[in-house]
Amino acid sequence: MAAKRKTPIKTRNPDLIRGVGKYSRSKMYHKRGLWAIKAKNGGVFPRHEPNPKPTTAVEKPPKFYPADDVKKPLLNKRKPKPTKLRASITPGTVLILLAGRFMGKRVVFLKQLSSGLLLVTGPFKINGVPLRRVNQSYVIATSTKIDISGVNLDKFDDKYFAKEVENKKKKTEGEFFEAEKEDKKKLPEDKKEDQKAVDAFLIKSIEGVPELKAYLAARFSLKSGMKPHELVF
Amino acid sequence: MPFKRYVEIGRVALVNYGKDYGKLVVIVDVVDQNRALVDAPDMVRGQMNFKRLTLTDITIDIPRVPKKKTLIEAMEKADVKNKWASSSWGRKLIVQKRRASLNDFDRFKLMLAKIKVSFRYTPYCVYPFYTRVLFLKNLPQNFNRSLTSCNTVLQRSGVIKQELAKLKKENAS
């Protein structure tokens, strides 16, 4: 490599007009001193050895060629993002459920789970809604907020709500014709305890606000003259 | 039925259409048969069609096309804001705005308050069966629960009873 100049060089070939240099090709050849480099190297331009190419494995010809050309599906590198929580939904917001068994019930929002679903509770004693997961799209967020800073929600995640796997028992012929005895599925006691623990704190803060308990116990419904697009929730 | 509210310089009007809907503006000049030059303390003076304005009863004393400062002074002197807020039209608008901005919780509380007020005047038989249990224990012994009587749960004060008793006496004598 040639020695580096201390000051960067100004162009050897200044522009007369944009795109037209002052000196011709042959003049530039002389100015750049390419004749001197050639002379130093015995009349030939110096060349570097090319870098050795990495050895590739020997590819065998395939044994089978498909009859028609099969298109390869395009590569998909998408990573789905967690559902964006609406700005109006913060921990402690009162939500109105819009679908399902508890349609119209007003319910307290606790936190968003990793699957994107919202963890929600009645509280159970007030309106019969247990700790439950709910989709954000089926919910109206009101502007009423409750303080839930004292509640510990760490143990609740999507796995807590997973269905329990039943072991299927093989039936013998005799038992097949018996009336199917199904054990009534009972809620395990620890889930009831969890519900009570979460609700105990919530109910205290709810009773601090006048008429909030009756509000949560009542269901929401559209009455005559209410226009949803004009209502402020 | 002559007109009572005239388009004049200084007439306060309410905008009923457009970007400035609901604002109180002052007619500051008349452009032509259909348009007025209109101004308000918080708005750039501009023309507006009369169809977009509803005249109010309030007028202020201003010269034609006053400077903003004189306009504001004149509005303060005539006390437009308070006159408007105390007029029945202005009060109605305030109530409408308040009703529209009610929260879901506020609406619930309003409903409870209305029921509480009307409880005094609704007869016992109007209430559904499942609610009657709630005040069964508070009813006096001789309460008439039939559909034909209009006894309210809270019996009205003795004044009415006294009047009725007086009438009875008059009829008897």
Q: What is the DSSP string of B44-66?
A: EEEEEEGGGEEEEEEE----SS-
Task: Evaluate whether A151 touches A110 at the Cβ level (below 8 Å).
Answer: yes
| CB proximity under 8 Å: B 109-128 to A | 109, 112
Chain A residue at shortest CA distance from B112 = A211
Strand order in the sheet with A93-97: A132-134, A118-121, A106-112, A93-97, A139-145
Q: What is the pTM of this model?
A: 0.69
Contacts of A94 in chain B (CB under 8 A): 104-105
Chain B residue at shortest CA distance from A229 = B100
Given this model, what pLDDT does residue A45 score? 82
Which of B100, B103, B109 has its CB closest to that of A230? B100
**Percent residues over pLDDT 90 in chain A:** 47
For chain B, counts of helices (H) and of strands (E) = 6, 5
Paired tokens of B13:
């009007």
Contacts of A211 in chain B (CB under 8 A): 108-109, 112
Tell me whether A144 touches chain B (CB under 8 Å). yes
Nearest to B37 by CA among B66, B16, B59, B1: B66
Q: Is B66 exposed, middle or buried (0-12, 13-18, 19+ CB in 10 A)?
A: buried
Residues, chain A: 233
Chain A residue at shortest CA distance from B113 = A211
Given this model, what pLDDT does residue A180 score? 58
Tell me whether A51 touches chain B (CB under 8 Å). no
Confidence label for B159 from pLDDT (cuts 50, 70 and 90)? low
Confidence label for B28 from pLDDT (cuts 50, 70 and 90)? very high
User: Residue A8 carries which DSSP code?
Assistant: P
ipTM value of the model?
A: 0.73
Compute CA A132 distance to the chain's CA centroid, rounded to the nearest angstrom: 21
Confidence label for B160 from pLDDT (cuts 50, 70 and 90)? low
Read off the pLDDT of residues B2-15 as tens digits, 9 standing for 90 and up: 999 999 999 999 99
Whether the per-residue pLDDT at B157 is higher than 70: the answer is no
Given this model, what pLDDT does residue A82 score? 79
Give one word for A163, left, alpha or beta, with left for phi > 0 and alpha for psi -120 to 50: beta
First to last CA, chain A: 74
Give the gap in angstroms from C-alpha B134 to the nearest C-alpha of chain A: 15
Identity at A175, one-letter amino acid code: E
Interface contact B103-A143, CB threshold 8 A: yes
Interface contact A233-B104, CB threshold 8 A: yes
Interface contact A232-B102, CB threshold 8 A: yes
Interface contact A232-B100, CB threshold 8 A: yes
Contacts of B113 in chain A (CB under 8 A): none
User: Residue B98 carries which DSSP code?
Assistant: H
Which of A142, A230, A231 has its CB closest to that of B105? A142
Q: What are phi and psi of A95, to 5 degrees?
A: -110, 155
Nearest to A194 by CA among A161, A164, A163, A146: A161
Tell me whether A232 touches chain B (CB under 8 Å). yes
Contacts of B109 in chain A (CB under 8 A): 211, 215
Per-residue pLDDT of chain A (233 residues), as tens digits, is 456 667 777 888 888 999 899 999 999 999 999 899 898 888 878 888 888 888 888 888 888 888 888 888 888 888 888 799 999 999 999 999 999 999 999 999 999 998 899 999 989 999 999 999 999 999 999 999 999 988 888 888 888 988 877 766 666 665 555 555 566 677 788 889 999 999 999 999 999 999 999 999 999 999 998 999 999 99
Paired tokens of B15:
């905008």
Read off the pLDDT of residues A176-225 as tens digits, 9 standing for 90 and up: 555 555 666 777 888 899 999 999 999 999 999 999 999 999 999 999 98
Given this model, what pLDDT does residue B128 score? 85
Which of A215, A230, A231 has its CB closest to that of B105? A215
Task: Evaluate whether B56 touches B14 at the Cβ level (below 8 Å).
Answer: yes
Given this model, what pLDDT does residue B138 score? 72
Given this model, what pLDDT does residue B172 score? 79
Mean pLDDT over the full length of chain B = 88
Tell me whether A231 touches chain B (CB under 8 Å). yes
Which of A144, A214, A230 has its CB closest to that of B104? A144
H/E segment holding residue B107? helix B104-119
